[in-house]
Amino acid sequence: MGRGKAQRTCLACRQVMDQTELVRFVCAPDDQVLVDYRHRLPGRGAYACPERNCLEQVVQKRLFNRAFRKECHPVSMENLADALRKALLTRMTSLLGMARKAGLSVFGSSAVLAAFDRTNAPLLVVFAADISAGVAAKVDRKAGHHGAERLTLFDKEELGRILGRSECSVFALTDEALVEAFLLEWKRYCRILGEN
């Protein structure tokens, strides 16, 4: 079976999973509960599924107190979801930035459309929320024909900021591992927002 990853238990549903599949939390010296999304903060960790219903149970039943064996500062579902949403957006932004620097991305509608005619065609297309309907339809049609994943995220200005440009309406990734990592974070983001 080989050497497995460390296993942890979700505070709410009690399901045992690889710790990388769970969100880690720590209790700071001032008793504030912090999201440790990248599993880097020191101290005892508590884990929960990246699912809204599990997080709601953790908050409602005050399960952080039991996990950390002390009275933690009360945390609201809104604050917890917001902190996790920010961590996920930071991670997705980082992945898009890495793709740009490694030359594993294409940006701009003309470049994305042309990329589908090459051997290393895009596997994921990210549309800005405020892209023009005509451009979106043209790119979406071509992406669908090639079986590429499509999603909408950020606006043109935010996508542009990630790419070091003034704005960008559409962006594509061509690397399978990066696409897989990005989609994992995107799906978690949607689940935290309760959109799946």
pTM score of the predicted model: 0.84
Q: What is the DSSP string of 44-66?
A: -EEEE-SSHHHHHHHHHTTHHHH
Last residue of a domain, one of 75, 98, 120: 75
Query: Over the stretch 152-181, which tens digit does the pLDDT of each residue have?
Result: 988 999 888 887 788 999 999 999 999 999
Residue for token digits 């932004």?
93
Are 108 and 176 found together in one domain? yes
Query: Over the stretch 32-73, which tens digit does the pLDDT of each residue have?
Result: 999 999 999 999 999 999 999 999 999 999 999 999 999 999
Query: Over the stretch 93-103, which tens digit does the pLDDT of each residue have?
Result: 899 889 988 99
Q: Are strands 105-107 and 170-173 parallel, antiparallel or unpaired?
A: antiparallel
Last residue of a domain, one of 19, 43, 75: 75
Q: How sure is the predictor about 143, in pLDDT bands with cuts at 50, 70 and 90?
A: very high
Residue burial 167-188, b: 16+ Cβ < 10 Å; e: rest? ebbbbbbbbeebbebbbbbbeb
Query: Over the stretch 71-86, which tens digit does the pLDDT of each residue have?
Result: 999 999 999 999 999 9
Are 62 and 109 found together in one domain? no
- In a domain, residue 136? The reply is yes
- In a domain, residue 11? The reply is yes
In this prediction, residue 15 carries a pLDDT of 95
Alpha-carbon distances, residue 105 vs 3, 19, 100, 151 (angstroms): 34, 30, 5, 15
Residue 27, strand partner residues: 33
Last residue of a domain, one of 55, 75, 95: 75
In this prediction, residue 3 carries a pLDDT of 54
- In a domain, residue 150? The reply is yes
1: pLDDT strictly greater than 60? no
Domain count, the chain: 2
Residue for token digits 């895009």?
122
- In a domain, residue 113? The reply is yes
112: pLDDT strictly greater than 50? yes
In this prediction, residue 2 carries a pLDDT of 42
Alpha-carbon distances, residue 45 vs 11, 69, 122 (angstroms): 11, 11, 38
Dmax (CA) for the chain in angstroms is 59
- In a domain, residue 81? The reply is no
Report residue 173 as tokens.
């990734």
Mean pLDDT across 133-157: 94
CA distance 168 to 171: 7
In this prediction, residue 196 carries a pLDDT of 52
CA distance 183 to 196: 13
Q: What is the end-to-end Cα distance of the chain in Å, rounded?
A: 33
Are 57 and 126 found together in one domain? no
% of the chain surpassing 70 pLDDT: 96
Residue burial 103-115, b: 16+ Cβ < 10 Å; e: rest? ebbbbbbeebbeb
In this prediction, residue 61 carries a pLDDT of 95
